[in-house]
Amino acid sequence: MSPDPAAYDAALDRADAHARAWLAGIPQRPLPPTSDVEAVAAALGGSLPDGPTDPAEVIDLLARVVEPGLMSMGSGRFFGWVIGGTLPAALGADWLVSAWDQNAAIRFATPGVVGAEQAAGAWLLDLLGLPQSAQVAFVTGGTTANFAGLAAGRQRVLEAAGWDLDRNGLSGSPRVTVLAGADRHVTIDIALRYLGLGAPTLVEADDQGRIRPDALAAALATVEGPLIVALQAGNLHSGAFDAIGECADLVHKKGGWVHVDGAFGLWAATSPRQRHLVPGLERADSWATDAHKSLNTPYDCGVSIVRDPAALRAAFGFSAAYLIRADDDPDPYETVPEFSRRARGVPVWAALRSLGREGVAALVDAFVANAQAIAAGISEIPGAQVLNDVVYSQVCVAFESDERTRAVTERLLADGVTWMSGSTWKGRAVMRVSVSNWSTDDEDVRLSIDAVRRAAAPG
């Protein structure tokens, strides 16, 4: 028996009402949560009732207990980590994805969502200036996108060394040298660990966290055999970009694979005004980015892009390599680490369709303009110092001492008007700003600078 459509009505109506109330409250609500994990787990937990609970009641209980424990990450004044809000069209599409409940693994089985993801993938390649023949795959996030690109690279460089990875695994294989900038994102290390490649050999970075091309050239001079180099578009602290094209050319001369971690920075390529940050981006072999950060789709949505579709398919395809025909469009499951999955690329399509080409560029331009306005405002506060060149969406601020920086950050977070996360960069305590939300406006910028001024005031 198929479910009675009316069976869903009450639960969906309640979910819709709670969602709208949550979203409507974001502009007024203090940003930090007012509840904690133990309180929420206790209120929702205990012994599981033996009998059923009405679905609408379940939704009401969930919203009532969970909401005080939510951080207002969708606020235009939330600048913590690198988060990003949710565009209206992306959220609507995400709801449909849940209602449709398609397993987006196989083309013939779910052509609706696979087709939507295919359209989104082609638009992404176009906007990012990457070859239309590259393979786009929708994964859970930037970590997995790094994993996927590096997995494709591992497959290719070992194959070129005459090693059958599928058959033999890594035991006894030629050593794969992996180089990465000293200020790479930690998820590169995690991805390499998953891949059994160990820790990367670090190459010196400059004062903004960019890999130094001269240091890379020197490191490459000593390398023999299979080689992968992980570059970065968008440093977590400074927003700085490696000289991707220049470095890629050096690596390719040695027959290596070039991967770019552009979790939030890859989006610079979509704007004519920011494109200068990524010269030669298209000369890499694989790219990782997040739609759930800069594009403002809901979690979870990362994007893995690989120039040679066969390399990605060789890494993740189930069927034996001899069964793969190059002219055959791969099924989505052959390009990602999981088999069954949600159609997470559909909200990407909706975000892009709702913004249009100019809207995507304007979104990225606004991140940069707002970051620069915040940096300018904060640098006028006595004792505050902006440590990075604000070329993109990230601002790194320090006060007179580490102790002061931590105290100001703590006061700022308690104040609740804005959220900027603490970190350490280059051995100093810092307050980090990441502008990643589509809704951040001039008023948010002004209120946030005022909040930092209050938090930094003596006494």
Ligand X SMILES: *Cc1c(COP(=O)(O)O)cnc(C)c1O
Q: Which token pair is 48?
A: 């599981």
Q: Which of 94, 189, 242, 261 binds ligand X (CB under 6 A)?
A: 261
Residue 183 interacting with ligand X (CB under 6 A): no
- Report the side by side order of strands in the sheet with 177-181: 135-139, 302-306, 286-290, 257-261, 227-232, 177-181, 201-203
Residue 142 interacting with ligand X (CB under 6 A): yes
Residue 289 interacting with ligand X (CB under 6 A): no
Cβ proximity to ligand X, 236 vs 429, nearer residue: 236
Cβ proximity to ligand X, 230 vs 352, nearer residue: 230
Closest CA to 166 of 328, 322, 306, 327: 322
Residues 219-238 within binding reach of ligand X (CB under 6 A): 234, 236
* Amino acid sitting at position 44: L
Residue 336 interacting with ligand X (CB under 6 A): no
Cβ proximity to ligand X, 14 vs 210, nearer residue: 210
User: Are the C-beta atoms of residues 455 and 449 closer than 8 Å to each other?
Assistant: no
Give the span between the Cα atoms of 419 and 68, in whole angstroms: 17
Give the span between the Cα atoms of 376 and 431, in whole angstroms: 15
Q: Which token pair is 435?
A: 């502008």
Q: Which token pair is 50?
A: 């033996």
| Min dist. Cβ of residue 98 to ligand X (A) | 20
Cβ proximity to ligand X, 82 vs 378, nearer residue: 82
Residue 78 interacting with ligand X (CB under 6 A): no
User: Are the C-beta atoms of residues 181 and 203 closer than 8 Å to each other?
Assistant: yes
Q: Which of 187, 270, 394, 448 binds ligand X (CB under 6 A)?
A: 187
Residue 185 interacting with ligand X (CB under 6 A): yes
User: Are the C-beta atoms of residues 113 and 100 closer than 8 Å to each other?
Assistant: yes
> What's phi and psi for 263, nearest 5 deg?
-50, -45
Site string for ligand X, 23-62 (x = CB under 6 A): ----------------------------------------
Residues 83-122 within binding reach of ligand X (CB under 6 A): none
Residue 264 interacting with ligand X (CB under 6 A): yes
The enclosing H or E element of 432 equals strand 428-434
Cβ proximity to ligand X, 143 vs 177, nearer residue: 143
Give the span between the Cα atoms of 255 and 413, in whole angstroms: 48
Q: How many chain residues interact with ligand X (CB under 6 A)?
A: 13
Q: Which of 75, 86, 102, 143 binds ligand X (CB under 6 A)?
A: 143
- Report the side by side order of strands in the sheet with 421-425: 385-386, 394-398, 428-434, 421-425
Cβ proximity to ligand X, 264 vs 399, nearer residue: 264
User: Are the C-beta atoms of residues 211 and 246 closer than 8 Å to each other?
Assistant: no
Q: Which token pair is 197?
A: 């490649």
Cβ proximity to ligand X, 139 vs 431, nearer residue: 139
Closest CA to 292 of 183, 144, 188: 144
Place of tokens 């790094």: 146
Q: Which token pair is 309?
A: 């579709």
Given the rule CB under 6 A, which of 138-146, 194-202, 317-325, 445-453 is the region that contacts ligand X?
Answer: 138-146
Q: Which token pair is 338?
A: 């999981």
Cβ proximity to ligand X, 240 vs 456, nearer residue: 240
| Min dist. Cβ of residue 293 to ligand X (A) | 6
Cβ proximity to ligand X, 302 vs 317, nearer residue: 302
| Min dist. Cβ of residue 222 to ligand X (A) | 27
Residue 302 interacting with ligand X (CB under 6 A): yes
DSSP state of 101: T
| Min dist. Cβ of residue 216 to ligand X (A) | 18
Q: Which of 59, 263, 346, 433 binds ligand X (CB under 6 A)?
A: 263
Given the rule CB under 6 A, which of 109-117, 259-267, 325-333, 383-391 is the region that contacts ligand X?
Answer: 259-267
| Min dist. Cβ of residue 394 to ligand X (A) | 9
| Min dist. Cβ of residue 320 to ligand X (A) | 30
Closest CA to 266 of 245, 280, 287, 248: 287
Residues that bind ligand X (CB under 6 A): 82, 141-143, 185, 187, 234, 236, 261, 263-264, 290, 302
